[in-house]
Structure 1
Amino acid sequence: MNAIVVVDKNWAIGKDGSLLVHLPGDLKYYRQKTLGKVIVVGRKTLESFPGGKPLPDRTNIVLTSDPAYGANGCIICHSKDEVMETIAGYDPEDVFIAGGSQIYEQFMEDCDGFYVTKIYDEFEADRYFPDLDAAGYKAIWESEMQQEKGIAYRFLKYSR
């Protein structure tokens, strides 16, 4: 299982329920990595998607504690165990934990790969991803530096 996340230099991921910045190159990378795959998100993350709708051409699994919650085009789960049962039939390499912060925290220990878009800037934030460098994870691949909207970033893949 993998996680996919965009972070700033302080490992911040969001503010007030939104991404820190929208970078077309990062959105393209996210699409490339997750198209035809399974994404696991929380309710708030789903609601932050365009139109609050599931992303097309992916299996969208939503983890929520609200027993009455429903969303067309999604598989709704109410516990981590239920998510794990749901994804058991998929190749673990095809499963991406995609946020938000509470979902990342719940599945961190279950992930072997971490696809990180690292922005070399800092933003005001209220949500963070664990610092993989400080935790001893290894960056096993990194892209060339990218530049958009005056912001430098690169894509990295970390492993345990």
Structure 2
Amino acid sequence: MILIFAVDNNWNIGFAGGMLTEIKADLKRFREITEGNIVIMGRKTLEAIPGQKPLPNRINILITRNKEFNREGFYTINDLKDLFPLLREINPKGEMEVFLTGGGSVVRQLIDHCNKAYITKILKDFEKADTSIPNLDLLDEWKIVSQSDIYYQNELPYKYVDYVRK
């Protein structure tokens, strides 16, 4: 599995059910990297997507404890033990990459199954943030394999940092 997130300096990813900010180039990069592959998200992440629809040109998997919660266009699972059999069923040859797209709770439960990460580091501390993911820079088992120059959207600096599990 591959983590793909935009984080601030404190590895926060969201506030009040939404993203901290939207960077157009980052959203385009997210789409280009994940299209044709599998994306996994929790219910709160789905609810942050406009229209709460599946991401187009991807297989969408939704993780929720709510057994009554279903959305058309998603494979829905209520227990993580069902995730890996589902992935083997829909991706038997492993030809598609599997991306973990949110949220924080799902990442904490599945990070040990991830071996790569595409992180957009927003070089700012957001005062209003209530959701984070583990800081890969502080975890000995992760290392940076590439990073971009610093880009700007308006006055907001960010860069792309790719990690792999050692």
Identity %: 34
Q: Quick check: 1:125 aligned with 2:129?
A: yes
Structure-to-structure mapping, 1:34-73, within 5 angstroms: 34-73=34-73
Divergent runs of 4+, >4 A: none
Unaligned runs of 5+ in 1: none
Residue type at the aligned position of 1:58: R
Q: Quick check: 1:112 aligned with 2:112?
A: no
Partner of 1:24: 24
Residue type at the aligned position of 1:152: P
The structural deviation recorded for 1:48 is 1.1
1:61-111 Cα distance to aligned partner (Å, 9 max, x none): 000001111100100011111111111242276100110111111110000
C-alpha distance in structure 1 between counterparts of 2:59 and 2:39, whole Å: 6
Residue type at the aligned position of 2:123: Y
C-alpha distance in structure 1 between counterparts of 2:95 and 2:164, whole Å: 14
Partner of 1:82: 82
Taking only aligned residues, the RMSD between alpha carbons, in angstroms, comes to 1.2
- Number of positions where the alignment pairs a residue of Structure 1 with one of Structure 2: 160
Instruction: Tell whether the 8 Å contact from 1:2 to 1:93 is kept in structure 2 after alignment.
Output: no
C-alpha distance in structure 2 between counterparts of 1:31 and 1:101, whole Å: 20
TM norm structure 2: 0.92
Instruction: Tell whether the 8 Å contact from 1:3 to 1:111 is kept in structure 2 after alignment.
Output: yes
TM norm structure 1: 0.96
C-alpha distance in structure 2 between counterparts of 1:54 and 1:149, whole Å: 29
C-alpha distance in structure 2 between counterparts of 1:146 and 1:88, whole Å: 38
Residue type at the aligned position of 2:100: I
Instruction: Tell whether the 8 Å contact from 1:39 to 1:98 is kept in structure 2 after alignment.
Output: yes
